[in-house]
Amino acid sequence: MTALLEVDGLESGYGDALVLRGVSLRAGRDEIVSLIGPNGAGKSTLLKTIYGLVPARAGSIRLLGREITRMRADRLTRAGVNFVPQVDNVFPSLSVAENLKVSVLPMPRGDRGEAIAEVEALFPIVKERARQRAGTLSGGQRKLVALARAVVTRPSLLLLDEPSAGLAPKAVSEVFEKLREIASLGIGIVMVEQNARRALALSHRGYVLDMGRNAFEGPGSELLADPNVVALYLGSGAGRSGPPPV
């Protein structure tokens, strides 16, 4: 069966700096895949390269077998890929309802109302806070609205950069439970997450990146139990907040 997302030998970077050095990964429909590793490993750069925000220098990216390497972000959204960055993921001056209306503009007019209704059922907060400006929401509420904005476009693949960053423990639990629900709808999720243990526990599979290369990969539960992964990447400092990743 063709994987939802296939990345092979991907290289990319910024200016003269090469960040990704031949990274490969797979993600299937309804799978949650986590990317973990030390700061500077290239995790966020990988998401941005898949979404066309950083140009690929070598390698290939395929969505359901279709080559999407170097495709523009707006075209990728129409093709079924959406990206939720760590920050600047809502329009703060717009209401929650207006945020959703902006997100569905690329969709056929006849589909917009139904798409918004589907998201309101999945994310009750977007109906409860419809008239509230997104910039006045709590961190957890904003993250849920950001996810709703991505899901309303009916993607097949979501790319998430640090979905739990800066959230209180209760909000983290709520966001992670919502990710389970999203995946159960048949939407693949590839996420970079600073809370490595919790991410792997949630994930079907995980990839550990180091120095822009694949270091370890496997089912999330197996990586959690791998003594090498634990010693190198899941020690006492794993999961703590730190500077934004590369």
pLDDT confidence bin for 182, thresholds 50/70/90: very high
**Per-residue pLDDT tens digits for 57-68:** 999 999 999 999
Decide if pLDDT at 238 tops 50: no
pLDDT confidence bin for 241, thresholds 50/70/90: very low
Decide if pLDDT at 231 tops 80: yes
Decide if pLDDT at 239 tops 50: no
Question: Token match 């993607």: residue?
Answer: 155
CATH architecture under which domain 5-233 falls: 3-Layer(aba) Sandwich (3.40)
- Answer whether 0.95 is exceeded by the pTM: no
